[in-house]
Amino acid sequence: MRSLIRKCRNCYTYTMKEQCPECGTFADVALPPRYSPLDRFQRFRLKMEEEE
Ligand SMILES: [Zn+2]
């Protein structure tokens, strides 16, 4: 069983559905598993350090 937390683009309500229960706007997946901007940044830094 896998659950994805989604967040409304419009009112930032968290939901498990594709549509926000509050306003009906499409809700994006809030935290894709194993892929976050922070991980990407850390990987980028490591690469920079290797090249120097
Ligand atoms: Zn909403």
From the CA of 1, how far away is ligand 1's center (Å)? 25
| Residue 19 CA to ligand 1 centre (angstroms) | 8
> In whole angstroms, what is the distance from residue 7 CA to residue 12 CA?
6
Q: Please write the tens of the pLDDT for every residue from 5-26.
A: 899 999 999 999 999 999 999 9
* The pLDDT of residue 1 is above 60: no
Ligand 1 centroid, distance to 37 Cα (angstroms)? 23
**Spans of all domains in the chain:** 6-51
Residue 27 Cα to ligand 1 midpoint, Å, equals: 7
CATH for 6-51 is: 2.20.28
Q: How far is the CA of 4 from the centre of ligand 1 (A)?
A: 16
Reduced to 3 states (helix: H, G, I; strand: E, B; else coil), residue 16 is coil
The model's pTM: 0.51
Strands (E), the chain: 6-8, 14-15, 27-29
Query: What pLDDT score was predicted for residue 49?
Result: 77
What is the side-by-side order of every strand in the sheet holding 27-29?
14-15, 6-8, 27-29
